[in-house]
Structure 1
Amino acid sequence: MTSPLDPQLGMYSHVNGHPADILDRLTISELCKGWPVYRDASEWKNFRSLFCQEAYVWTSKSKTSSTLPGQWKADIFTYFHLAWSKRQSIDNFIKVSKEGKARGDFIMHRECGTCVDLNPRTRRAVGKMKATITQRFTIPAGGDDDPGVVEPVVFDVDCDCRFHFFCLKEEQPDDGYGLPEWKVRYVKLIYDKDKIVPVDGKTAPTFSKEALRRCPEGYQYLGAAQRMLGHDIDEFLPTIQGPEKGAAHRLWLDMYEKMGQWLDGDDDIDLSSPVLSDKGFANGNGHVHVNGNGNGW
């Protein structure tokens, strides 16, 4: 369930307005759309050009289990469980993405719509891109690991989410024009909901209720599928779904607070994982949220 609560306290330039603001917002939306277009096609030079010299995405590297079947190991890396974890430089993210593709990762993006919040005074913006991330999984045919699987089971996990691109307008001394340009400094996601899609229209794995409950509803199938690959899944990712009808997810609210800080001109926004304590978890602002049902509410 989603919350009726408006998570954004301030209001910024987002539709209409001065022609200069409209052009800025269109430019920023191009940066956002470059993620699915360029990354999926391995256009790494174009992809890198979207970002500042020092830019970061919030990702979590996966661990490969030595006991996994060989074909499973081809799909080990994914950034599906990006978010409340360590920040990673964009150059290292590109490096790891290349390595994942070389191992056989098949991760695609569908951009569903993009809007931009702009603060002309601070020359800051946040691009909000609704997207579906889809990854192909293959459970190999039976062997010593799982003799009950007669034929390979091929399925997708589709995860509806929202990318947030923290952008700024900075000087570009080598661009040949001497004009400032918009670039991306940070990227972080909020997860909405996910599902399993059988590739043949009928065959898909079944996950137990216990396995699904270990992650919030926004990415529970994704989490279960990743655990089958041997991943340690972060159970504290921001989603829009609270523990009860109409309730707001606290990490969702915290994410919007960070967006407001960025738009108002703060230089370094902490999007790292919440710090666990005996009272709950503390966000980057020192606010403590009480532990709930273990799903990061």
Structure 2
Amino acid sequence: MNDVLIDRLAIRDLVENWAVWRDAGDWERFRGVWHDDGRMMATWFQGTADQFIAVSRKGFENGVRILHFLGGTSIDLSGVRAIAQTKMTISQRAAVEGVECDVVCTGRFYDFLEKRDGRWGVVLRQPIYEKDRLDPIDPTKAPKLDPELLARFPEGYRHLAYLQTGIGYEVKRDMPGLTGTEVEKLYERGRRWLAGGDL
């Protein structure tokens, strides 16, 4: 195999391991997908990889379940740098206005990756939130949502944000969606990264 194909396989393996190990609570191996300066951006958290692991672990131990399912991956390689975009869903279950519900958000993981000392790792993960939906576990019940609160959040993740706000998270309100200023800025950061620029 040529080096480019080996790098692409290593990146895909890393992306898949991220989802499996995080959702399984395999924190030691999960740390291995990040570089030491890795950072995570999410609706409910923005910070270093180590901080993300700590809060994810605490939530996992307290019964919080934020699960991920992956689809196809597109990888742009430039030497020891890469941008990987991976189709995904984020699923979370919790009580919403007293009714147990699932929220499923569809989008992409947009990963800034670098190969250091022969190992690919995540430098920054920024999800792109494209659309979401909320479903009561019991279809005979429906939560009565506060329309004013729901409208505070971008269309791509407003139900996820509503659920997360209801269980106590401070949700970031300017995450990138399918279109718009925020995702265009993200794409520009990706182009700079591949050209050798700083994040």
Q: Shift in Å at residue 208 of structure 1?
A: 3.8
- Whether 2:48 is the aligned partner of 1:89: answer yes
Structure holding more strand per residue:
2
- Whether 2:3 is the aligned partner of 1:44: answer no
- Whether 2:66 is the aligned partner of 1:107: answer yes
Contact 1:29 1:115 in 2 (8 A): no
The answer for unaligned runs of 5 or more in structure 2 is none
The answer for unaligned runs of 5 or more in structure 1 is 1-17, 60-79, 140-145, 147-151, 172-179, 242-248, 270-297
| Distance in 2 of aligned mates of 1:44 and 1:226 | 22
Letter in 2 for 1:127: A
Q: Shift in Å at residue 210 of structure 1?
A: 2.5
| Distance in 2 of aligned mates of 1:168 and 1:96 | 25
Question: CA offsets per residue over residues 241-267 of structure 1, 9 Å max, x none?
Answer: 4xxxxxxx000100000011111112x
Question: CA offsets per residue over residues 17-42 of structure 1, 9 Å max, x none?
Answer: x9321221111111111121110011
Aligned position for 1:209: 147
1:157/1:188 CA distance change after superposition, 3 Å: same
Aligned position for 1:156: 102
Question: CA offsets per residue over residues 159-201 of structure 1, 9 Å max, x none?
Answer: 1121112111111xxxxxxxx1212111111110110022233
- What SS does the corresponding residue of 1:184 show, helix, strand or coil? strand
| Distance in 2 of aligned mates of 1:39 and 1:21 | 27
| Distance in 2 of aligned mates of 1:203 and 1:113 | 35
Aligned-residue Cα RMSD (Å) equals 2.0
| Distance in 1 of aligned mates of 2:90 and 2:149 | 21
Aligned position for 1:196: 134
Aligned position for 1:126: 83
| Distance in 2 of aligned mates of 1:137 and 1:109 | 16
TM-score (normalizing by structure 1)? 0.62
- What SS does the corresponding residue of 1:136 show, helix, strand or coil? strand
- What SS does the corresponding residue of 1:101 show, helix, strand or coil? helix
Identity %: 34
Q: Shift in Å at residue 127 of structure 1?
A: 1.3
- Whether 2:116 is the aligned partner of 1:170: answer yes
| Distance in 1 of aligned mates of 2:169 and 2:25 | 25
| Distance in 2 of aligned mates of 1:227 and 1:182 | 34
| Distance in 2 of aligned mates of 1:201 and 1:214 | 26
Contact 1:196 1:204 in 2 (8 A): no
| Distance in 2 of aligned mates of 1:50 and 1:227 | 29
Aligned position for 2:15: 32
- Whether 2:167 is the aligned partner of 1:218: answer no
| Distance in 2 of aligned mates of 1:217 and 1:137 | 20
- Whether 2:172 is the aligned partner of 1:234: answer yes
Q: How many residues align?
A: 199
Letter in 1 for 2:38: A
| Distance in 2 of aligned mates of 1:265 and 1:99 | 36
TM-score (normalizing by structure 2)? 0.91
- Whether 2:94 is the aligned partner of 1:137: answer yes
